[in-house]
């Protein structure tokens, strides 16, 4: 079980015990956008999913708030996703990166997601505070490659299934199980999918004029041949 402390904006600290981590894949609302992301990954050799959405189970120990992560080689990249976290205050909305090894992804998606840490922002929102204007939220990612920072992902949350819809597909109770966190899908990539020395992510709320943010560096480890 992973212990993480989040700052619930306007509410104080929340100590979360995460025993289960779910990564929702192919979670787009628009079938054409889902197909576009599938095509992106097919170009890298990733097999098409057998169901949409998919729910991948990975180790909760991968979650962390660290400023940098270590990965094998330079075959991985980040994906900004909103994250659902249960609490005694109700459902919380966080911001994380489903950092994934793209080389391994070409032959086993679940294993590729298990290969890398999952950075997550320390600040979270109560879902009830954004639920009424959820569709106005915007997700963004910037990637640093060869020292150059550039926009890497951008799109409204309307490109992805709403939390209630995704939970209804997860189980018949339409609830996030206790001690569980779930990453909820990502936006299409601007330009080339792939490695960066750092990733910066944002979930922007234009109604309340605030953002969840997190950035992290990527340290590639040497890979023995």
Residue 132's Cβ-side half-sphere holds a number of Cα atoms within 13 Å equal to 4
CB of 64 closer than 8 Å to CB of 217: no
**Which residues pair with residue 25 across a beta bridge?**
54
Find the mean pLDDT for residues 22-48.
81
* pLDDT confidence of residue 205: 98
pLDDT of residue 168: 96
Phi-psi region of 194 (alpha: psi -120 to 50; beta: other; left: phi over 0): left
pLDDT for the residue numbered 138: 98
Between CA 104 and CA 174 the distance in angstroms is 32
Full-model pTM: 0.93
What pLDDT sits at residue 106?
Answer: 82
Q: What is the dihedral of CA 69, 73, 77, 83, to 10 degrees?
A: -40
Res 152 pLDDT > 90: yes
pLDDT band at 66 (very low <50, low <70, confident <90, very high): very high
Mean pLDDT for the stretch of residues 61-71: 96
Residue 214 to residue 88: CA distance in whole angstroms: 24
CATH number 3.90.850.10 is the correct assignment for the domain at 2-221: yes
pLDDT in tens, 106-146: 888 889 999 999 999 999 999 999 999 999 999 999 999 99
Q: Average of pLDDT values for 7-11?
A: 95
Report pLDDT for 45. 75
For residue range 161-216, list pLDDT tens digits in order.
999 999 999 999 989 999 999 999 999 899 999 999 999 999 999 999 999 999 99
Kindly report, residue by residue over 75-97, the tens digit of the pLDDT.
999 999 999 999 998 999 999 99
- HSE of 61 in the Cβ direction (CA atoms, 13 Å)? 4
| pLDDT at residue 41 tops 80 | no
């Amino acid at each position: 079980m992973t212990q993480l402390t989040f700052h619930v904006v306007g509410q104080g600290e929340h100590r979360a015990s995460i025993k289960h981590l779910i990564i929702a894949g192919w979670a787009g609302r628009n079938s054409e956008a889902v197909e576009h992301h599938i095509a992106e990954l097919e170009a890298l050799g990733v097999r098409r999913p057998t169901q949409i959405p998919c729910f991948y189970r990975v180790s909760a120990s991968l979650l962390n708030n660290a400023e940098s992560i270590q990965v094998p080689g330079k075959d991985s990249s980040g994906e900004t996703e909103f994250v659902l976290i249960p609490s005694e205050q109700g459902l919380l909305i966080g911001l994380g990166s489903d950092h994934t090894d793209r080389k391994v992804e070409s032959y086993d998606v679940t294993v590729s997601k298990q290969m890398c840490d999952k950075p997550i922002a320390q600040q979270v929102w109560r879902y009830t505070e954004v639920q009424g204007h959820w569709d106005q939220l915007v997700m963004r990612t910037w990637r640093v490659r060869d020292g150059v920072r550039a926009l890497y992902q951008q799109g409204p949350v309307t490109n992805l299934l709403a939390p209630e819809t995704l939970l209804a597909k997860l189980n018949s109770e339409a609830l996030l199980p206790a001690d569980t966190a779930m990453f909820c899908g990502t936006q299409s990539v601007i330009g080339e999918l792939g490695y960066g020395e750092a990733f910066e992510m944002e979930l922007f709320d234009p109604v309340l004029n605030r953002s969840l943010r997190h950035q992290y560096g990527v340290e590639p480890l040497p890979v023995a041949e």
